[in-house]
Amino acid sequence: MNNRGIGRYGLDVTNYRLVGRIFGLLLIIEGLLLLLPMLVCIMYGESDWQAFAITMTMALTVGLTIRYFTRDIKGRMLYRREGYIVTSGAWVLFTFFGMIPFMLSTTPLDMTDAFFETMSGFTTTGASVIGDVDAQSHGILMWRAQTQWTGGLGIVLFMLALLPSLNQSSSLPMFNAEITGVTHDKLHPRIRQTAKSLWIVYGTLTFMMIVFLMIGPMDWFDAVCHSFSTLSTGGFSTHNEGVSYWHSDYVAVVMSVFMLMGGINFILLYNVRRGMIKPLWRNDVSRSYIILVFLFVILISVSLLSDGYSGLSDLVIRPLFLVSSAITSTGYTYGNFELWGVVIFMLVVVMMIIGACAGSTTGGMKMDRVLALWKNMKGQTYKTLHPNHIEYVRLNDRVVGHETMSRIAAFGMSYMLMIILGTLAICAMGVDFDDSLFAVVSGIGNSGLGYGLTGVEGGFGLLPAGAKWVLSILMLVGRLEIFTITVLFTTSFWRR
């Protein structure tokens, strides 16, 4: 043990208390976040304000108590292992306290459904167990949307942007553990400044979307809720019919555009905000993402045309909306794509698995990894014919090192293994194979799209309780990209 009292793996009792101190801070933040839905309830004269008041009091009390008893450990360093504990624990902690309003509301959910709904919100999955959304109070609907907006860029990233006390190099483990992708680029030397810049872009786009939706048929409440859940690529709506409630192609186009923007690396969007537009197309990943979106739209449009569909709405707007929703893991539907045939069903599954760009608010494997695997496959095929040829995988003019490529391959294998195991587990509970497969792909990909049992005519609420817990775990694993969670279950992680 070194002279700072830190063991070989950088984790001792003192640092556990540091983790607890950060958890206390997170609970205080969540308590303050509950103020908005409570005020919305009061504004609309709804009694659910009490559920939010009780939850807010609990979160603030527990958070402040933890902070008080850990007040003597300020200035301690945060190491990689604590970073993983904080990041994983933050999402579970937020979910446990965030589900309380659902359980105390005038239309209460049981613990399983409340946990599922809240985890689905914070991970921006958008799969819902609520059968009658229209019967919910405005406060509950706002809280659903707010969980997705908060989880869009990440709970820990939200905390890093708010707190000057975490503006240190020791915050890097939390930043790296939560930000998705192959590599983790920073905009600024300071972590907090990077987090603030990303949230400024996120907030600006959210405000713009609210304005655009209010120009159309939406009132301010629906516009805010749908902007929160669209840019975060979450997918919670304020009505049972979802986007179809407005029967508006204008709404569908606006939401498609902002869903697609939510699928782009926010560092690139930050550069666009500064007037640097060319890097968006020069970037290998974002360019492939844009091309793939157009390709999928064309394939779906051609399929629909061959089935006798016609008109701008059916052949362009609805396919664009479906592709935007599926590839960005948003999960909104505009019409019933289940009626469009098995080919489109398979395309949707492929899009949910691929996902959009790393560093965005989306789920799935991410375009960066898929593109790297594709280039590696091409290189290995060429090397089969020319064994002496040295082939490098490049992304954005950078060589992807062997270690990174191995990690990408391991991630891809783990992702598919999770899908297989999850599907088998839910099938064992009596759910049909196709319904199980789609639900698992939707859950781990943080998509929320339903099909068959979980589709337009059904819902995730029809699944057995065990299946909901399996999917809740998969949502978290998918949002934190597998290794941040699975590393906690290795003996070497906890060994000192």
Q: Enter the pTM of the model.
A: 0.89
Question: CA-CA distance, 334 to 340, in Å (whole number)?
Answer: 13
Neighbours of 73 (CB within 10 A): 14
- The predicted pLDDT at position 296 comes to 96
CA distance 324 to 330: 8
For the chain, the domains span: 1-496
pLDDT of residue 378: 86
Instruction: Report residue 397 as tokens.
Output: 């003019």
> How many whole angstroms separate alpha carbon 450 and alpha carbon 491?
37
Region of poorest pLDDT, from 220-234, 269-283, 346-360, 475-489: 269-283
Residue 425 pLDDT more than 90?
Answer: yes
| DSSP element (H, E) containing 395 | strand 394-395
Contact 235, 352 (CB under 8 A): no
Q: How far apart are CA 329 and CA 263, in angstroms?
A: 9
Question: Among candidates 71, 30, 20, which has minimal Cα distance to 52?
Answer: 30
Report the pLDDT value the prediction gives residue 74, as an integer from 0 to 100. 61
Structure-token match 């707007």, residue found: 317
Distance in angstroms (rounded) separating the CA atoms of residues 177 and 488: 12
* pLDDT band at residue 485 using 50, 70 and 90 as cut-offs: confident
pLDDT of residue 177: 53
What integer pLDDT is reported at residue 76 of this predicted model? 59
**DSSP symbols for 331-370:** ---SS-GGGG-HHHHHHHHHHHHH-S-TTSS--SS-HHHH
Whole-angstrom Cα distance, residue 394 to residue 375? 8
Q: 402: closest CA among 414, 393, 410?
A: 393
